[in-house]
Amino acid sequence: MGADMVRVRFAPSPTGFPHIGNLRTALFNWLFARHHGGVFILRIEDTDVARKVEGAEEAILSSLRWMGLDWDEGPYFQSERLPLYQEAARGLLESGHAYHCFCSTERLNEMRREQIRRKMPPGYDRLCRSLSPAHWEERLAQGITPVVRFRIPLEGQTRFNDLVKGQVTFNHSTLDDFVLLKADGFPTYHLANIVDDHDMRITHVLRADEWLASTPRHLLLYQAFGYEPPQFVHLPMILADDRSKLSKRHGAVSVTEFEEQGFLPQAMTNFMALLGWSMDDHTEMFTLKELVRYFSVERLARTGAIFNREKLEWMNGVYLRKFTVEEFVGMALPYLGRDLPPSVSRPLDRDYLLQMAPFIQERARTLGEVAGLADFFFLAEVDYETGPLLKGMEKDARKQGKAAAEATPMAVQALDKAMEAIQQAAEFEPEPLEHGFRALGEELGLSAGAFFGLLRVALTGRTASPPLFNTISILGRGRCLTRLKAARKKLS
């Protein structure tokens, strides 16, 4: 190992809450490090003071922890390393690779407006590039604080081999003399990024596609410093279903929101790994451990990856069903506590929950859906329209050659009989209940669809629910009677 040891970093800027794209970058770096037995470093690139967002740093760290992506070094904070970048900028000034620029903001704005007006590419017009160091002294003595700009070679090209994109070439004529050090002594992203990647002995830079255009600048900086550059790996873009760039309007994109909506970290890492990487053409389910084993840069895609929320929901459901009922209840409880209406008294009855949980676990795709699937078990009364309540009954009435209006008295009679049956049932278990109710339905001359449909809506307030007789058994005698009575009242 030694010098060949893989060292990668995740280098987020705390300018916003970490979104899927950020964490996919973190995941790929982490997988690459773990696969090669290397080192995963966390570095917070917080030199853009103006764009810093309160709480973003904490959100980054907690999202990484939540997903199980542990780091070996850091977090380093660039804001605590300013002398290092200032020293580096001084070195470049001395070697002639950088120069002081004294242009005022007004002048630069005016220049920019002119460029737009004349439809010219943006970029500094290099006014200060030819000032001599003697001139610098003069200006500095006047108390004008300059920025430091990089002196891009006027001719030639920079070529490099990106491990995903392949050969990439940029003409120097397209690059402008970008700022390295701002007037307030803070470095720009470019300078701090290169100084740190060198200082931290980074071997591979896996980062978002959007940074590809910065790479020639970075390589020129490496050259100017006399540093060996790392390998570059620009990750495929993440696109929405409509192939536009994924953004807020496509639903939750911040990872904290996915957690709040009841997605599991196991599902998130599995799903995110497949955004631009695949092991083969068909395997979809991977534990984090398996991802570590199989991850390789060679299998990264060159084209954009589509973010398919339905697939994520499906996958999350698959993970939810892998847990025991007890585990599922443990995970669902905080969500239920949060999502059930305030009228439901807390703490929730865990034993009661355990009874219904298998039926909910079967259906839920996220923990955030659990309350919606289970609320009728907890509510004091259920709410519904008479339409769905009578739907099957009306069909039966028609079949029997009666008017649709006959459905109501038929339903009232069925409800009365059902209440009797509930009261008299010796065993309140699904199987004997089913026997009893089937026989009762026949006795009343009703189809199973009509009778059970009526009971289902009366008991749950909905037309789709867990199996009816399990539901009756779980609800228990008291709740069932109250709800059937309420249905009868609704009808008369």
Q: Note the residues at the interface with ligand GLU (CB under 6 A).
A: 11-13, 45, 189, 193, 207-208, 211
Number of residues assigned to the chain = 492
Is there a contact between 202 and 38 (Cβ–Cβ < 8 Å)? no
SS3 74: strand
SS3 260: helix
Q: Closest CB to ligand GLU among 12 and 441?
A: 12
CA distances from 88 to 6, 192, 211, 219 (A): 25, 9, 22, 15
The whole-angstrom separation of Cα 178 and Cα 187 is 11
Q: Closest CB to ligand GLU among 189 and 328?
A: 189
| Maximum separation of any 2 CA atoms in the chain, in Å | 108
Q: Which of 389, 405, 397 is nearest to 454 (CA)?
A: 389
Q: Closest CB to ligand GLU among 208 and 279?
A: 208
Q: How far is the CB of 66 from ligand GLU (least distance, A)?
A: 19
Q: What is the DSSP letter of 284?
A: -
The whole-angstrom separation of Cα 139 and Cα 149 is 16
For residues 147, 151, 157 and 163, what is the CA-based torsion angle, rounded to 10 degrees? -50
Q: How far is the CB of 108 from ligand GLU (least distance, A)?
A: 24
Q: How far is the CB of 76 from ligand GLU (least distance, A)?
A: 12
Q: How far is the CB of 105 from ligand GLU (least distance, A)?
A: 24
SS3 37: coil
The whole-angstrom separation of Cα 263 and Cα 316 is 6
Strands 179-181 and 147-150: antiparallel
Q: Closest CB to ligand GLU among 194 and 240?
A: 194
Q: How far is the CB of 275 from ligand GLU (least distance, A)?
A: 16
How are the residues of the chain apportioned to helix, strand and coil, as percentages rounded to the nearest 5?
A: 55, 10, 35
Q: Closest CB to ligand GLU among 97 and 207?
A: 207
CA distances from 378 to 203, 320, 445 (A): 56, 22, 33
For residues 347, 351, 356 and 357, what is the CA-based torsion angle, rounded to 10 degrees? 80
Q: How far is the CB of 297 from ligand GLU (least distance, A)?
A: 15
| Residue 153 φ/ψ, nearest 5 degrees | -60, 135
**Catalytic-labelled residue, pool 52, 182, 248, 311:** 248
Is there a contact between 32 and 38 (Cβ–Cβ < 8 Å)? yes
Q: Closest CB to ligand GLU among 207 and 479?
A: 207
CA distances from 32 to 22, 25, 38, 231 (A): 16, 11, 8, 13
Q: How far is the CB of 12 from ligand GLU (least distance, A)?
A: 5
Q: How far is the CB of 22 from ligand GLU (least distance, A)?
A: 7
| Catalytic residue check, 248 | yes
Other residues' Cβ atoms within 10 Å of the Cβ of residue 441:
21
Q: Closest CB to ligand GLU among 26 and 371?
A: 26
Tokens representing 61 are: 């760290």
Q: Closest CB to ligand GLU among 193 and 470?
A: 193
What residues are labeled active site? 248
